[in-house]
Amino acid sequence: MREGPGSGAARPAGREGEGVRTAPSAAGRPPTGRGPTRWPGSLAQLTLTRMREFVREPEAVFWTFVFPIVLALLLGFAFSERGDPTVRVAVLDAAGADAVVRILADAPGLQVEVLDAAAAAAALRRGRVALVVAPRAGGVAYRQDPSGPGAREARLLVDDALQRGAGRTDPLAARVEPVEEQGSRYIDFLIPGLIGLNLLSTGLWGVGYTVVRMRAGMLLKRLMATPMRRWEFMASFLLGRLVFLAIEIAAILLFARLVFDVRVHGSVALVGLLGVLGAFVFTSFGLLVASRARTTEGIAGIMNLVAVPMWLLSGVFFSYERFPEWTHGAIRALPLTPLVDALRAVINEGATALETAPAIGALGAWGLLAFGSALLLFRWR
Amino acid sequence: MTAAGNGEAVVCRGLRKSYGPVVAVDGLDLRVAAGECFGLLGPNGAGKTTTVEVLEGLLHPDDGEIRILGMRWDRDERALRHAIGIQLQDTRLPEKLTVAETIRLFRSFYAEGPSVDEVVARVQLDEKRDVWVRRLSGGQRQRLAVACALVGAPRILFLDEPTTGLDPQSRRSLWELIEAFRAGGGTVVMTTHYMDEAARLCDRLAIIDHGRVIAEGAPLDLVATLGADQVVEFTVGSGPTPSESELAALPGVSGVRRNGDGWALTARGVHRTVPALLGRLERDGAELSRLATHDATLEDLFVHLTGRSLRDA
C-alpha cells in the first residue's frame, strides 16, 4: 500500500504559527496546558498497582492465604497422634523366634512381625522396621542402623520387654505422668514456623517473579523513561505486601486457634511488628534476587538457592538444635532463623519486646542491607 | 529552557553506539526544530531504535553530543524526564490493570498534565476505560501506550515504530492522534519503516541505513532527488528483454533497476517513456505480462540509495 507524494501536502502547515508562540509555557504544553493538579502520589499509585495485581491473581491469593493453612492442617494432624506411637520391629524366622514373638506381642508400643532373613534385611533397609531381633542360643542379637530414626527407642523398648520376659524385676517403682501443656506441642512449634515460611515465600516468589516478568516485558524500561523515583517503585512492593500481611498472619493464627487451640501468649502487636520486619526482609530479598535476572527460569534457580537452606535449617518444621553445635552460629545468621525464633518466643512463651530486641535488630539490619543492595544492583532494562 | 526560544528541540552530533563488535549507530547527526515532526526512516536493524533510545536517555552513547530542549541527560535528567513522553517498541503494560488505572499510574509520575479522563478521551479509549489491558486489541494497546506518553503534557513525543503490526484503521487512528498532538504545538520524533507513514506525518525525514543518515529532508524534496516523479514497472512474459543500457536510453528514464522478475524504471514524463518502451518491445517481438506506473515514493528513493527495499533490507 503506497501513497504518493501528494499525501504529504495534506499535512497541516504548522510553521507559520512558530513566531507567534513566544511564551515557552504555551509551546511546552501543547495539548490542554493545565496548571498543576493535585494527584494521589506516585508511591500510592504504585502501591495500588501492586495490590491490584495481587488480588487479581487468584493463584497468588491461594498460595499466600490458603496454602499455609493446608500445610498446618496436614502437619498438625500428622504429628498429633493420640497415645503412644507404635514402633515396628521384626523377628528373624529362626529357632526360638516363637518365644521372642510371644513376649514382644504383649509389650506396649511394639508391633511385631516374623520375617525371613532377606525380607528382614529389606524391611530394615527401607525403614519399615527400626530393629530386627535375631534369636541366638542363650540370648538375642539386635540388628539395626544405630543412627536411623527411632533406632534407640526401638532397642530400649524391645530389650526392656525381653529382659522382663526373661524374669528381670525392677527394683525402682516408676510411672509416667503425661503432660499436655499449651505452647509445648508440635503444632505450637509449627505455627510460628509456618508464619515465617509464608513471609519468606510470598516475599521471594511474589516479588521476584513479578519483577522479572516486568523486566522481560520491557515495563521496567518504560517506567525508567518516566520521572518515577526508583526507590518508590521498590518501596511499593513492600507497602503492597504490608496490607495483605495482616490478613495473612491473622488467618493463620485464627485457624490455629480454632482448630488446634494454639494461643498467642505474648503481645499480638509484637507478632505484627515481627511480621512487618519479616515482610521487609524477604520482600527486599525478592527485589535483590530479581535485581539482575532476565528470565523466570533464571530467577527460580536463584530463589531456590536462597530459600531452601532457610526452609531446612532455620527451624521451620523442626528445631535447628538437632544440627551439630558448630553449625548453630551460621544457622542463626540466616534471616529466617531470628524471625522464627522470635515469633515462637512471643507466641508460645510470651516473650517481651525487650527479649526479642536482638532479633528485631537483626531483621532490621538484614532488611536494610537487602533493600539497599537491591536499589544499587537493580537492572531496569 | 533556551530551546523553545531558539527553536531546537533535539540536537545530536556525532552519535556513535556499538554493541560489542556490532556498530549500531555510526556517527549520526540530527537536528529537530521545535514543533516539527521528524521521522527516522529505515529498515529493521538500521539503528533507528538505538538512536531514539539514546535521545530518550535510555542508552548511553559511546560518543557524541545530545541536547534535548537545550538540556543534557547527564545534568538535567529529572527535568528532561518531565518534559518528554516516550512510547517504546513492545512494552507489555500490566495485563490486569484497566485502561484508566494504567493511565492514572503513569500520570502520577508527572508534576503536571491533563486529567486521566482527558487522556482517555484523547486516545479514544472512553469505551474501554474500565477494561483490563489484556482485553484490548493491538491498536487499542498501542493507543494506550501513546496515552502513557502523553500524561505528562510532554514538549517532545518520542515514538518508536508506533504503528508496526497494526491494521490500516488502527494505523490511521494513531496518525490522527499524532497529528492532534502536533496541532497543539508539540514536537514529534518518530521511527518507522513505513514510507506512507513517514510521508504523511513527517515534516522532515532522515533516511537511515547501517547507522548513518543517507538522506535527509522534507519527504517531497527527498523524492524529488530521484530526478523523476514516476516509476514504470514491467515484466516481460515472452520474448527478449532489452538490456539495462537500452532501457536507460529510453526517453525520460533516469534510473533502471531489477524489480523481482521484471524491471523498474524511474522516469520523468511517462507519457513519452511508456510508448517508447512499448514500441521497443513490439519491435523485438516481446510480450508484456505486467505493466504498471506509480508516483515515485520514498521506497523508490531507498531502493535507489541502497539497492535494497525497505521491507527486505
Q: What type of residue is A176?
A: V
- Residue range B81-109, pLDDT digits in tens: 999 999 998 889 999 999 999 999 999 99
Closest-CA distance, B67 to chain A, in angstroms, reads 16
Contact A219 B4 (CB under 8 A): no
A288 in any annotated domain = yes
Same domain, B175 and B233: no
Same domain, B138 and B282: no
- Residue range B174-219, pLDDT digits in tens: 999 999 999 999 999 999 888 889 889 999 999 998 999 999 999 8
Contact A2 B168 (CB under 8 A): no
Residues of B with CB below 8 A from A44's CB? Answer: 108
B301 in any annotated domain = no
A335: number of Cβ within 10 Å: 26
Closest-CA distance, A20 to chain B, in angstroms, reads 11
**HEC letters along chain B:** CCHHHHCEEEEEEEEEEEECCEEEEEEEEEEEECCCEEEEECCCCCCHHHHHHHHCCCCCCCEEEEEECCECHHHHHHHHHHHEEEECCCCCCCCCCEHHHHHHHHHCCCCCCCCHHHHHHHCCCHHHCCCEHHHCCHHHHHHHHHHHHHCCCCCEEEEECCCCCCCHHHHHHHHHHHHHHHHCCCEEEEEECCHHHHHHHCCEEEEEECCEEEEEECHHHHHHCCCCCEEEEEEEEECCCCCHHHHHCCCCEEEEEEECCEEEEEECCHHHHHHHHHHHHHHHCCEEEEEEEEECCHHHHHHHHHCCCCCCC
Q: Which among A52, A56, A227 has CB closest to B78?
A: A227
Same domain, A108 and A254: no
Q: Is A38 helix (H, G, I), strand (E, B) or coil?
A: coil
At residue B114, the pLDDT reads 94
At residue A220, the pLDDT reads 93
B311 in any annotated domain = no
Identify the weakest region by mean pLDDT among A15-24, A238-247, B91-100, B117-126. A15-24
Query: In terms of residue numbers, what domain contains B284?
Result: 227-295
Boundary (domain end) residue, out of B170, B187, B218:
B218
Contact B122 A31 (CB under 8 A): yes
Residue A160 pLDDT exceeds 50:
yes
Same domain, A308 and A361: yes
Same domain, B119 and B264: no
A277 in any annotated domain = yes
Do B68 and B43 form a contact (C-beta atoms < 8 A)? no
- Residue range B1-54, pLDDT digits in tens: 443 445 789 999 999 999 999 999 999 999 999 999 999 998 888 899 999 999
Same domain, A233 and A351: yes
Mean pLDDT (chain A, rounded): 84
Closest-CA distance, A235 to chain B, in angstroms, reads 15
Q: Which residues, including other chains, have CB under 8 Å from residue B198's CB and lie 6 or more apart?
A: B39, B41, B192, B205, B219, B298
Same domain, A242 and A111: no
Do B183 and A14 form a contact (C-beta atoms < 8 A)? yes
A101 in any annotated domain = yes
Please state the pTM of the whole predicted model: 0.77
Same domain, A158 and A297: no
Degrees to nearest 5, angle at CA A114 with A108 and A118: 135
Identify the weakest region by mean pLDDT among A279-283, B70-74, B218-222. B218-222
At residue A179, the pLDDT reads 65
Contact B181 A30 (CB under 8 A): yes
Same domain, B120 and B150: yes
Question: Within an 8 Å CB–CB cutoff, is residue A2 touching chain B?
Answer: yes
B92 in any annotated domain = yes
Q: Which among B4, B218, B299 has CB closest to A27?
A: B4
Same domain, B203 and B251: no
What cell does B159 get?
Answer: 515514538
At residue A380, the pLDDT reads 86
Domain containing residue B252: CATH number = 3.30.70
Residue A32 pLDDT exceeds 50:
no
Per-residue pLDDT band at A83 (split at 50, 70, 90): low
Contact A11 B114 (CB under 8 A): no
Characterize the bridge pairing of strands A110-115 and A87-92. Answer: parallel
Mean pLDDT (chain B, rounded): 89
Per-residue pLDDT band at A170 (split at 50, 70, 90): confident
Find which of A71-75, A232-236, B225-229 is predicted with most confidence, using mean pLDDT.
A232-236
Same domain, A189 and A283: yes
Provide the angle, in degrees to the nearest 10, between the axes of the packed helices A268-289 and A230-260.
130
B152 in any annotated domain = yes
At residue B195, the pLDDT reads 83
Q: Which among A6, A34, A53 has CB closest to B94?
A: A53
- Residue range A102-153, pLDDT digits in tens: 888 888 888 898 999 899 999 888 888 889 999 988 888 998 888 877 788 8
Query: What is the mean pLDDT of the segment spanning B252-268?
Result: 85
Same domain, B47 and B142: yes
Same domain, B239 and B92: no
Same domain, B136 and B246: no
Same domain, A205 and A231: yes
Residue A180 pLDDT exceeds 70:
no
Question: Within an 8 Å CB–CB cutoff, is residue A34 touching chain B?
Answer: yes
Residues of B with CB below 8 A from A37's CB? Answer: 112-113, 115
Closest-CA distance, A46 to chain B, in angstroms, reads 7
- Closest chain A residue to B153, measured at CA: A29
At residue A344, the pLDDT reads 94
Boundary (domain end) residue, out of A108, A140, A165:
A165
Same domain, A195 and A223: yes
At residue A5, the pLDDT reads 40
Same domain, B266 and B149: no
Residue A233 pLDDT exceeds 50:
yes
Domain containing residue A92: CATH number = 3.40.190.10
Same domain, A216 and A338: yes
**HEC letters along A191-220:** HHHHHHHHHHHHHHHHHHHHHHHHHHCCHH
A11 in any annotated domain = no
Same domain, B205 and B239: no
At residue A181, the pLDDT reads 66
A45 in any annotated domain = no
Question: Within an 8 Å CB–CB cutoff, is residue A19 touching chain B?
Answer: no
Query: What is the mean pLDDT of the segment spanning A6-22?
Result: 37
Task: Please tell me the total count of domains within chain A.
Answer: 2
Do B110 and B180 form a contact (C-beta atoms < 8 A)? no
Query: What is the mean pLDDT of the segment spanning B77-82?
Result: 94
Find which of A172-176, B122-126, B239-243 is predicted with most confidence, using mean pLDDT.
B122-126
Same domain, A316 and A252: yes
DSSP A61-118: HIIIIIHHHHHHHHHHHHT--SSPPPEEEEEESSTTHHHHHHHHHHSTTEEEEEE-HH
A92 in any annotated domain = yes
Largest CA distance in chain B: 74
B52 in any annotated domain = yes
A119 in any annotated domain = yes
Domain containing residue B121: CATH number = 3.40.50.300
Query: What is the mean pLDDT of the segment spanning A77-93?
Result: 76
Contact A221 B91 (CB under 8 A): yes
Distance (Å, whole) CA A336 – CA A307 = 9
Same domain, A277 and A353: yes
Query: In terms of residue numbers, what domain contains A267?
Result: 182-377
Instruction: Quote the percentage of chain B above a pLDDT of 90.
Output: 58
Same domain, B213 and B237: no
Interface test with A, best of B105, B222, B225 (most A CBs within 10 A): B105
What cell does A91 get?
Answer: 523377628
Per-residue pLDDT band at A23 (split at 50, 70, 90): very low
B281 in any annotated domain = yes
A14 in any annotated domain = no
B305 in any annotated domain = no
Query: What is the mean pLDDT of the segment spanning A349-362?
Result: 93
Task: Please tell me the total count of domains within chain B.
Answer: 2
Residues of A with CB below 8 A from B122's CB? Answer: 31
Q: What type of residue is A217?
A: G
Distance (Å, whole) CA A4 – CA A2 = 6
Residue B238 pLDDT exceeds 90:
no
Q: Which residues, including other chains, have CB under 8 Å from residue A264's CB and lie 6 or more apart?
A: A253, A271, A346, A347
Query: What is the mean pLDDT of the segment spanning A205-216?
Result: 90
Same domain, A253 and A334: yes
B284 in any annotated domain = yes
Boundary (domain end) residue, out of A136, A165, A194:
A165
At residue B149, the pLDDT reads 95
Same domain, B24 and B148: yes
